[in-house]
Every structure is written in structure tokens, then in C-alpha cells.
Amino acid sequence: MSQTTDAYVEAAVRRFDEALNRARFQTVKCGDAPDDWEWIGTVGGNSEPATISLTNDFPFAAPRVVLPQRVDEIDWHQMPDGSLCLWNAHSLGSQPWLDGDGLLARIEEWIAHAEAGWVDDMPQLDLEAYNNLWLEVRDGQWFTPILAIDDWEQIAGGWFRTTPPDENGLLTVTSAQLSEPATPAPPRNKKKRRAGLSTQNRPNKFLNGIAIDLGKVTKPFIFTEQLAEEAGANGPLIVAMLEARRPVLFAARYTRDEAVGFIGFWFESTKDGITRRCFPVAERRYAQQRRAGWHAATLSDRKVSVIGAGSIGSHLADLLHRSGVNDLTIHDFDVLFPGNLTRHAASPAFVGASKTTAVRETANLRTPEHPIKTSTSVRGLNEAVQLLRDQDLVVDCTGDRLTWQLLLAAAEVTGRSFLHVAVIGHGQVGRVDICPPLEGADPVAESVVQPLAATEWEAGCGDPVSPTPPTAVAETAAMGARFAIRMLAGESVLPAGESRELFPVLP
């Protein structure tokens, strides 16, 4: 550390030391670095012994607090090393531990909750923290293997198979609801293993797993005996698989209060005996739905068409799909080129495909159960009229004035409005226009932008390359998606739309 940072940290440690000394904690260790410091004292009405020490991240990390009389107990908000978890992640920003009296009060509060059995505790679903989470180091970074499942019903109540961990540590379910695997042959004898016939070091082509339900958990540590009990009649088969040096996975569902959580365990036979590793089990479908926003339930049965799968249309369609629009059609005829990727929402894996296919397949990688529909561009007044009548909302993202005029005519025939979303002046202004405006309102005033001479050209029909910044595309698409979501949900919006300056001064 520099002298300036040294002085800052040293002052924080000194103030913390003085506060604990005033509370009759004794300084038993001290030094130049924060992790050289340690204090002992008592807390609570029963004068329970406590040890407080620092890490080198202090004052930007909480002190380590241990209650020696409880260090061997298994309890909520107490890590496997015996240290107490006194604050959740949302309360760390104010550094509450810097108030010595507040720290001691928090420890006493922890003791009171523990004595009461954590009856009012939040149902935090973080059992991995208590069960020695499996951590690996790759390229200097810590990571943990993760089992990804679509939902619990995919694997519930039976055997399943997964891939081995990939380069990111991901285990993917390849088949589920299987009958029990065949009992493997016992390991070969030592002479044959010496002769090179052992399969111990061969990589596994797949992994066998079993899904079990632990029910309501009352303590955060899951004992191996609990897993064996829930495995029931599968116990002998699991033992045989381990003896044959085949890893076995357990994917476990549990509840805490009314909340549902998942946890995984990897068992494997090694030269040192049976090893047990804990890893997260991540459910995809419901986890994504919980993050889709509070409009998602309302949007799930709405029918929307996005015309134009270019930069604006791809991002807007992606946002609507993420937000819960399950019946979504995107219209275009163009092909995705490498240069489009700077401003487009699609994955580079789909270069060469139609833009509609690229948007659909990119979304399918995330949410395959509700695929986006694709169609060609809207051609002719009859098609436009039918589209406005059939869909709950049509959004024009083409930036093409002929398409806009076509939809204006269809709106006049049907008496229905559509959204027109565009970036104006190569990123100077983002606009969302309701066409025609609701409630007879006047249209949004025409955007005044500075002219920009074309300087870059590529193959095509006379169009220069637009220097529109990707941020202008993303912000305008988000504006359009917000209007679409609120209109689909029946909420009030600005009746004519919105115009927003993005990059009004060009270089």
C-alpha cells in the first residue's frame, strides 16, 4: 500500500481498536497489517466469550467474529469455520461494523435470534455456504461447478445423466426420469490394474445422478446420512458405483418456510476414500420468470409483432421476450452480416442467417419454451391491416418511411394505433411515436438534428454506413420496450410518445 492508503487503513484500525477497548475488549494481537489484530472480550447478558479479528480488506470488509462456545455448533448464519454472518449483502455498504458499539449490539442480536431458533429469519436459500462449497481455480479465478436444470420436475424422483463439467464448470442434464443404472462390475484386481487395464483415470463420458427431496430443513448442514436415507433402496447401487470408481451426483430439493431451494453433492472414490463436494443446482425456468419484472404475468398472453429485425428491432424484441411476451413475431427479410453485430442483439454464431432467425435462435438459447415466431417483411395494405387487427400491438422498428406510411394507412382503416421506434440523426435523438396519438393528442414535435455527411460506404443499395452509437440504439430500444409494455398492460403513457436527446452534438 502507499503511504496515503496505509495512513487511511491504520486510522480506521486505531479507531476500531479504541472503540472495542472502551467496551472492555482486550487487544491481544496487533501489528502493521489489519489481519495482525485480534481482540477478546464478552458479550450479552451471560457474558459469553467472543473473539474479534480483522482481514486485510478492513475497513471495507466486516470483522471476523467467533463465539468459542458455539464454534462446533451447526447453526444458521454461522460459517463452517465458526465465524458469524452478521449482515446481509444489502447492508454492507454503510460499513456498520465501524461503529464498535453497533458491532457488539449486532453480536448480541445474533445470539438472541440463535437462542430463539431463528423463528423470524428470512428463508435464505444458501445452503452451499454451510456445506463447504466446491471451489476450483482456473486462470487465476475462483469458480464452482454448477448443475443447470430447466426445472425440478425435469429430474424429480429418479435417476438422470449429465455431462461432465465443461470449461466453465457447467454440468448439463442430457437425460432424465431414467430407470436405475445397471450395477457396475467391481474394480479389477491389483495385478490387472498394474498391467494398464484400470479404468480409474479415464474421463467419464457422462455422470449418473439421483434426485431426492429433503423436505423442510431445520439446520443448514446436510449430513451424508440424510442423503443416504432419502436415496432409500438405491443405496446398494450407489455404493457399487462408488466402488467401481464412478462418481455419483445428488441433486436435492429442500424447503425453508415456504421457499424452495436446491443443492447438489458430488461423491467420488479416491485413494484417500470417499470424497464429498458441494455445488449449486440452478433451476432455469422459474428463476428467469422471477426476474422478468412485475408485468410478466400480464404480458404472457399478449400478441405482439415487431417489424424490422435490425439494430433497434432486435434489441426491442429481445427486451419484450425477456419481459414475458410469449407470443412474439418479428418481421424482416434481411441477412445478418458481421458488421451488424456492433449494434445488433443477436449472437455472432448466427452470422449468415436471416436477422429474424438470428433473433429467434439467440432468444431460444435463453428461453426455449417460448420461441419467437418469424415472418418476412409486411407487404401491402391488406397484410398491414390484418396485422393491426390480429395483434395486441405492432411496433415498427424499420426506420423505413414507406413502411411507416403503409402502417399509417392501416391504422386509419382499423382505427388502431401502432408504435414507431427510431433513432434520428445517426444517434442524435431517440424517438417513440404512437401513431396516431392516443386521445386525439398532437404528435410529438419533429426532431431537429444536425446534418451529417456520409463518409463510410459498404456494398448495398446506395446506403452509407450509419455511425449511430450502440448506446443510442440500446437506449431507444429500451424506450420503445417500456412504452410497449405499459400499453400492453393497460397503463397510461404519454399519448403521443416521447423524444429524447441522446448525442445532440456531433464531432
CA-to-CA distance for 248 and 236, rounded, in angstroms?
12
Question: Of 148, 188, 151, 195, which is closest to residue 172 (Cα–Cα)?
Answer: 148
CA-to-CA distance for 27 and 40, rounded, in angstroms?
7
Range name among 81-90, 244-253, 354-363 with the lowest pLDDT average: 81-90
CA-to-CA distance for 308 and 366, rounded, in angstroms?
21
pLDDT of residue 453: 72
Bridge partner residues of 66 (DSSP): 51, 83
pLDDT, tens digit (0-9, with 9 covering 90-100), for 270-281: 988 999 999 999
Alpha-carbon distances of 256 from 90, 123, 260, 286, rounded to whole Å: 21, 6, 7, 17
| Residue percentage of the chain with pLDDT more than 70 | 94
Q: Which three cell numbers stand for residue 124?
A: 435464505
pLDDT of residue 228: 93
Averaged pLDDT of the chain: 92
pLDDT, tens digit (0-9, with 9 covering 90-100), for 21-43: 999 999 999 999 999 999 999 99
pLDDT of 208 strictly over 80: yes
Q: Which three cell numbers stand for residue 231?
A: 436415496
Strands (E), 293-428: 303-307, 327-331, 373-375, 393-396, 418-424
Question: Of 325, 150, 338, 352, which is closest to residue 251 (Cα–Cα)?
Answer: 150
For the domain 293-501, what is the CATH superfamily, name and number?
NAD(P)-binding Rossmann-like Domain (3.40.50.720)
Contact 310, 334 (CB under 8 A): yes
pLDDT of residue 152: 96
CA-to-CA distance for 417 and 436, rounded, in angstroms?
5
pLDDT of 192 strictly over 70: no
Question: Of 422, 428, 365, which is closest to residue 398 (Cα–Cα)?
Answer: 422
Higher-pLDDT residue of 467 and 345 is: 345
Q: What's the sign of the alpha-carbon dihedral 427, 391, 374, 325?
A: positive
Q: Amino acid identity, residue 340? A: N
Q: Which residues contact 315 (CB under 8 A, 6 or more apart)?
A: 344, 345, 473, 474, 477, 478
pLDDT of residue 193: 47
pLDDT of 211 strictly over 70: yes
HEC profile for 355-389? HHHHHHHHHHHHCCCCCCEEECCCCCHHHHHHHHH
pLDDT of 197 strictly over 60: no
User: How far is residue 382 CA from its own chain's centroid?
Assistant: 43
pLDDT of residue 119: 87
Contact 371, 360 (CB under 8 A): yes
Q: Centre a 10 Å sphere on the Cβ of residue 497 and count the other Cβ atoms it contains.
A: 23
CA-to-CA distance for 418 and 308, rounded, in angstroms?
14
Q: How confident is the model at residue 433 (pLDDT cuts 50, 70, 90)?
A: very high
CA atoms within 13 A on the CB side of 348: 4
pLDDT, tens digit (0-9, with 9 covering 90-100), for 317-339: 999 999 999 999 999 999 999 99
Angle of helix 224-231 relative to helix 235-243, nearest 10 degrees, comes to 120
pLDDT, tens digit (0-9, with 9 covering 90-100), for 277-304: 999 999 999 999 999 999 999 999 999 9
Q: Centre a 10 Å sphere on the Cβ of residue 271 and count the other Cβ atoms it contains.
A: 5
Contact 202, 177 (CB under 8 A): no
Mean pLDDT of 387-393: 98
Q: How confident is the model at residue 199 (pLDDT cuts 50, 70, 90)?
A: very low
Bridge partner residues of 147 (DSSP): 171, 281
pLDDT of 264 strictly over 90: yes
Task: Kindly give the residue spans of alpha helices, DSSP state H, lying in 78-138.
Answer: 100-115
Q: How confident is the model at residue 3 (pLDDT cuts 50, 70, 90)?
A: low
pLDDT of residue 1: 52
pLDDT of residue 32: 93
Q: How confident is the model at residue 507 (pLDDT cuts 50, 70, 90)?
A: low
Q: Where are the domains of the chain?
A: 3-121, 128-191+201-288, 293-501
pLDDT, tens digit (0-9, with 9 covering 90-100), for 449-502: 888 776 787 766 557 888 899 999 999 999 999 999 999 999 999 999 999 999
